[in-house]
Amino acid sequence: MEQLQPDAVTVLMGVSTTTPADLISTTLASLAKQSLRPTRIIVAADARLHPTLEKQLTSPEAHDMGIIYTVADEPGPAAALDTGLAHVDTEYTARINPGDIPHPDRLRRQLDTFHQRRVDILGTAVMELDRTTDATDPVSLLGADLSVRTMPSSHNEATRHLGSRSPVIDGTAMARTTTMRDAGGYRGGGHEADRDLWVRMIGAGARVRNLPTPLTWQRIDIATGPAPSRADRRAASRSVRDTLDEQGIPRKGFWRRLFGR
Give the pLDDT band (50/70/90) at residue 129. confident
Least confident among 19-28, 86-95, 156-165, 193-202: 156-165
Each residue's pLDDT tens digit, 158-182: 898 887 789 999 999 999 999 999 9
61 vs 254: which has the higher pLDDT: 61
pLDDT bucket at 255, cuts 50 / 70 / 90: very low
Q: What is the DSSP string of the chain?
A: -PPPEEEEEEEEEEE-TTS-HHHHHHHHHHHTT-SS--SEEEEEESS---HHHHHHHTSHHHHHTTEEEEE-SS-SHHHHHHHHHTT--EEEEEE--TT-EE-TTHHHHHHHHHHHS--SEEEEEEEEE-TTS--S-GGGGTT----EE----SHHHHTTTTTTS-SS-GGG-EEEHHHHHHTT-S---GGGHHHHHHHHHHHTT--EEEEEEEEEEEESSS-SSPPPPHHHHHHHHHHHHHHHHHTT--SS-HHHHHTT-
Which of 103-107, 119-123, 198-202, 247-251 shows the lowest mean pLDDT across its residues?
247-251
Residue 219: the pLDDT is 82
pLDDT at 212 over 50: yes
* Exposure b/e, 84-101, CB count within 10 A at least 16 = b: bbeebebbbbbbbbbbbb
**Average confidence (pLDDT) over 32-51:** 97
What pLDDT does 101 receive? 93
The model's pTM is: 0.84
Please return the burial class of 61, using the count of CB atoms within 10 Å of its CB with bins 0-12, 13-18 and 19+.
Answer: exposed
Judge whether residue 224 has pLDDT over 90: no
Q: What is the pLDDT of residue 1?
A: 56
Class in CATH terms, 5-246: alpha beta
Q: pLDDT-derived band of residue 200, with 50, 70 and 90 as boundaries? A: very high
Q: Tell me the per-residue pLDDT of 225-237, one tens digit each, with 9 for 90 and over.
A: 555 555 555 544 5
Q: Which residues make Cβ contacts (< 8 Å) with residue 242, sequence separation at least 6? A: none
Per-chain mean pLDDT for the chain: 86
What local confidence, expressed as pLDDT, does residue 165 receive?
A: 84
For the chain, the structural domain boundaries read 5-246
